[in-house]
Amino acid sequence: MNKIKVILFDNDGVLAHTEELFFEINGKVFAEMGIDYPRTEFEHHTFLTNLGTSGFMKNIGCTLEQIDQFKTKRDRLWQYAVTQTNVTDEFAEAVFNKLKMNYTVGIVTNTNRENFTKTHHDSKIPELADFIVLREDYLNGKPEPDSYLKGLELAKCIPSEAIVIEDSPRGITAAKAAGIKTIVIPNPVIKNLDVSHADYQISSLSELPDFLMTM
């Protein structure tokens, strides 16, 4: 195995604890619209596929009008809520500063530019990253490998010179499809999902610098 030169971080669930807030807001809007919200089914859909909320709502019989109405309400609530709190992981900035002494550090996310910016409204993470791959930068979302292939392109490295930090099954699948080994950091939201296809597992972002020294 080549020496690791590049660390590619997922954002939501790894650098930012947004996932519980996301599901809470979705549940609130579903309730307001009188739509049954099978949260466990929605979580599996979110973490295992790239079909998005629209795909989930189509599967449970919602109309296009309902989907548009839902997304308008959800996005408004989300963008307000995420700017009212600090969702960035408490160790993220310190970990980035430490890793940047020895590695190229990038962020690879399914999140679009507007939501990413709002998520890190009071964080230095965007300026600490050497590059950021956002949803506008590639064709197919995770679990397809497009985002991580774009990350490799920007880092100018081969897959064996990189490692991915993920939390979700679809993110792990995307990284492995791009030929990159993966470290998973499980969080409470995904505790019931299978992440055993990751190559390594740690319990906290704070453990990452020391763990990388063992590789």
Using alpha carbons, select from 90, 58, 103 the residue that is nearest to residue 209: 103
Q: Are 103 and 7 in contact (CB under 8 A)?
A: yes
Q: What does each of the 215 residues of the chain score in pLDDT, given as a tens digit?
A: 569 999 999 999 999 999 888 888 988 999 999 988 778 788 777 766 767 788 888 888 899 999 999 999 998 998 899 889 889 999 999 999 999 999 999 999 999 999 999 999 999 999 999 999 999 999 999 999 999 999 999 999 999 999 999 999 999 999 999 999 999 998 888 777 889 999 999 999 999 999 999 98
Mean pLDDT of the chain: 92
Q: How far apart are CA 48 and CA 45, in angstroms?
A: 5
pLDDT in tens, 41-82: 887 777 667 677 888 888 888 999 999 999 999 989 988 998
HSE, side-chain direction, 13 A CA sphere, residue 91: 11
Characterize 59-87 residue by residue with b for buried, 16 or more Cβ atoms within 10 angstroms of its Cβ, and e for exposed: eeebeeeebeebeebbeebbeebbeeeeb
pLDDT in tens, 72-100: 999 899 889 988 988 999 999 999 999 99
